[in-house]
Amino acid sequence: MNHPFLLQFDKMGSPEIGYLSVVQYEEYMPFEIKRVFWNYAVPDGVVRGNHAYFHTQQVLVALHGTVKVSLETPQGQQSDFTLMHPHEGLFVPPHCWRKSQFFGQAVLVVFSSHVFDAADNLRDYDAFHALKES
């Protein structure tokens, strides 16, 4: 699990009554969830993120609106994803530099494998690229 990929959650319901999606660790998540947080009220086009983690794995889900996510490995491999379905999640492994751009009053929920630890957070882009040498 060292590369990003999309997860599909069950989507139950219909247009007439609405939908329900469920995340259960044993069935859908590639890690035990230790922290959940969400971004909201982000103005259209604003880019959030600009960091990577040494150890933390995450799954990102756009509950509302659209979030464009750009990921990069220390080796320079880039991946772009557009999240706009609440029954779809993006797995982001450690050592992935991320940028998230928000549109349409997006609400992004993030499931993390670790509690927040500032020492796990890498915010220096040059230091991030130095990881490829380690």
pLDDT of 2 above 90: no
As a whole number, the mean pLDDT across the chain is 93
pLDDT tier, 129 (very low <50, low <70, confident <90, very high otherwise): confident
Residues 99-109 pLDDT 10s: 999 999 999 99
Give the chain as a 3 state SS string. Answer: CCCCEEEECCCEEECCCEEECCCCHHHHCCCCCCEEEEECCCCCCCEEEEEEECCCCEEEEEEEEEEEEEEECCCCCEEEEEECCCCEEEEECCCCEEEEEEEEEEEEEEEECCCCCHHHEECCHHHHHHHHHC
pLDDT value, residue 22: 86
pLDDT of 36 above 90: yes
pLDDT tier, 133 (very low <50, low <70, confident <90, very high otherwise): low
- Please state the pTM of the whole predicted model: 0.93
Residues 45-79 pLDDT 10s: 999 999 999 999 999 999 999 999 999 999 899 99
